[in-house]
Amino acid sequence: MHDYLRGTRTDVVVRKKWAPAAYGMADGWNTIARSNPPALESERRAASLENVEAAYPAADARRQASRCLRCNVNTVFDTSKCVACNGCVDVCPESLIRLVKATEVYPDADESAGVMLKDETTCIRCALCASRCPTHAINMKRFEFYTECVAVETRNPKVRYV
């Protein structure tokens, strides 16, 4: 109806954005062991068509979910605020942030300059670096995407205009 009255076509588009994330890991997240969900015993499993794995009880499900590292949350560096205090380097449990001489990355750089490097492939998104940073040069941001209907200024070929 809208397309007919406006003489437009409506398309569904995917939008994306980075949003601030109030993020921290659950207490003891690094000591909570992964446990398998309850399962049928092997004798019963072999002679049955029942589901092999049952659902976790509610309390166990919440405990296991608290181990989640939220892959859509990332550290975002603002290099203009960094004072190279090495706080993030010291606190990183994976030892993936390091301060190196700039000449290791840029051969033509000044000998006295430094560069902060972070290996994103091994980051566990624990947010310790962001909470330790005194200048807020490191922030946790959440990547979000959603769909939205937008009007396109062209006639919809599926609508019969009179």
Which pTM does this prediction carry? 0.58
Would you state the pLDDT for residue 133?
Answer: 94
Q: CA 85, CA 97: separation in Å to the nearest integer? A: 12
Convert the pLDDT of each residue in 120-149 to its tens digit.
888 888 889 999 999 999 999 988 889 999
Query: Given pLDDT bands bounded at 50, 70 and 90, which one contains residue 15?
Result: very high
CATH of domain 2-28+61-152: 3.30.70.20
Q: Where are the domains of the chain?
A: 2-28+61-152
For the segment 90-107, the average pLDDT, to the nearest whole number, is: 90
Convert the pLDDT of each residue in 34-87 to its tens digit.
888 888 888 887 888 888 888 888 998 888 887 776 778 888 989 889 888 899
Would you state the pLDDT for residue 95?
Answer: 92
Does residue 27 have a pLDDT over 90? no
Which contacts qualify for 108-115: CB closer than 8 Å, 24 or more apart? Answer: 114/84
Tokens 């040069």 sit on residue: 137
